[in-house]
Amino acid sequence: MAVEWSGWGPELLFTIDRESGEGLRAQLERQLRDAICSGRLAGGERLPSSRELARAAGLSRGLVQDCYAQLQAEGYLTSRPGSATRVAAVARRATTAPPSPRPPSRPALADFRHGVPDLRLAPREDWAWAVREVCRTAPNSAFDYGDPIGERQLREVLAAYLRRVRAVAATAGQVVVCTGMAQALGLVLRALGGATLAVEDPGAVRSTARQAAAAGVATVPVPVDEDGLDVEALDRSGARAVLVTPAHQWPTGVVLAGHRRRELLAWARRRDGLVIEDDYDAEFRYDRDPVGSLQGLDPGHVVSLGTVSKSLAPALRLGWLVAPERLIPVLAEDKAATDRGSPGLDQLALALLIESGRYDRHLRRARAVYAARRRTLVDALAVHAPGLRVTGLAAGFHAVLHLPAGADEERVIDQARRRGVGLYGLAGLHATPGPWPPRLILGFGDTPDHAIGPGIAAVADLLRG
């Protein structure tokens, strides 16, 4: 697709060598021809006017006009009276790059994919307001390279916010602002110095293992049951660090029970280990009391990771980690070497969004939307798949549906896709071989309200077995 540049004189990179034996017009024709054949200039793309190109190259306008006329005669360019000269739409690249893979099409009726918020809820106006205010009021120094671990203002705001809503025990000096959750986890993994990392099973076992391997860290799966991570199995694993989702385990949705929280922190103190707490969707809870952060119970042995990918939008690429003070120097050094810091103006905009109360207001609005979809999903399952157990609904925006014993999870998913409904299984998120009970992860974060009921109805017989 050709880009439609603004203005009458879009710039074009070429060079004119007046000391070579090649004529000036021949050089210009050759470079324009090569740019079209190589794909640098796409079909339909507008070229500078002959006057602008002549001025930029220090050539006569007549020479440029002759060049354009020659390429037009050869079929490379096209022009109409009163219109700009453009690359001919029929011009083809000499070497065609393989087409980019298309993203898989979403099911036509309903898609219960998980891990994605409703992007339509992104607070565009609030974010635009915050960015405008920052650009209007920020000092000139804010446009320079900032502190690699994050703008001080955002770190102070985050520390206060996390103390208020997550019972985190943190100061601004313990907060590192990151470019999303992936970078936050990568920084911590590299700080482990090769220690083995335990990961919840089921969970994000494979993706975490790939990221850990890149950091020189081995992983070992540890089972999760109805009370959360099995700490006795963790102790037997020999791991010195563990990645957990205690507030709403991914993907089962269980909450780490009180006795397991105490056992896990006792393990960390006994082993001098590190608990990495992924607080990925703790903002969205419905019919349960708030569950505080593990970090607030033992700041010396817990790193807490957070992000706005679920609460605002993944495209903002902003996250953070709260770490023990002893780890901050190595994390700061790694962060500086990685990217010299996350985008500073966006950090200040997020700080302003939180301070102004607009962030809390957005969360209340989003929580109400997700709660309504959660009720719609539960009601639809009660009608079309009565008797099937649904768990993991206390927080977040996905639920786990337990299929009848003996059901073929993969067959249900395949048959549902044929009916235009996207369903997703839990068996593939286990690291250890089964058999595992057949279960489906039903995401409702990005599933429109009007699609939930018809989607469940369309696969009712498959769910019941």
Long-range contacts, stretch 261-268, CB < 8 angstroms, 24+ apart: 261/294, 261/297, 263/231, 263/232, 264/229, 264/231, 264/234, 264/294, 265/294, 265/297, 265/298, 265/301, 265/302, 267/231, 267/234, 267/235, 268/298, 268/301, 268/302
- Give the dihedral of Cα atoms 379, 382, 383, 384; nearest 10 deg: 110
pTM: 0.82
Residue-level pLDDT at 365: 94
Mean pLDDT, the chain, whole residue set: 90
The domain locations on the chain are 1-101, 110-117+361-464, 122-356
Which tens digits make up the pLDDT trace of 246-273? 998 999 999 999 999 999 999 999 999 9
Cis ω on the peptide bond leading into residue 435 (within 30° of 0)? yes
- Estimate to the nearest angstrom the gap between the alpha carbon of 318 and the chain centroid: 9
Q: Tokens for 71?
A: 């390429």
Closest CA to 181 of 329, 342, 299: 342
**CA dist., res. 266 & res. 235, Å (int):** 11
Tens digits of residue pLDDT in 81-115: 777 888 888 655 544 455 555 556 778 899 999 98
In total, the chain counts a number of residues equal to: 465
Residue 375 exposed, middle or buried by CB count within 10 Å (0-12, 13-18, 19+): middle
Q: Say if domain 1-101 classifies as CATH 3.40.50.300.
A: no
Task: Assess contact for 41 and 2: CB atoms under 8 A.
Answer: no
Q: Hey, what CATH topology would domain 110-117+361-464 get?
A: Aspartate Aminotransferase, domain 1 (3.90.1150)
pLDDT band at 4 (very low <50, low <70, confident <90, very high): very low
What DSSP assignment string belongs to 165-186? HH-----GGGEEEESHHHHHHH
For residues 69-74, give the mean pLDDT: 86
Give burial (CB, 10 Å; 0-12/13-18/19+) of 9. middle
Provide mean pLDDT across the span 65-84: 85
The token duo for 446 is 């990005």
pLDDT value at residue 36: 87
- Give the 3-state secondary structure of residue 21: coil
Residue among 2, 28, 26, 3 at smallest CA distance from 14? 28
Exposure of 301 in the CB half-sphere (CA atoms within 13 A)? 20
Nearest to 187 by CA among 147, 152, 215: 215
* Range in 19-28, 157-166, 216-225, 333-342 the model is least confident about: 19-28
In the predicted model, is pLDDT for residue 10 greater than 60? no
pLDDT score at 1: 46
Q: CATH: 3.40.640.10, 3.30.413.10, 3.40.50.1110, 1.10.3210.10. Which one for 122-356?
A: 3.40.640.10
In 385-418, where does DSSP find H-type helix? 409-418
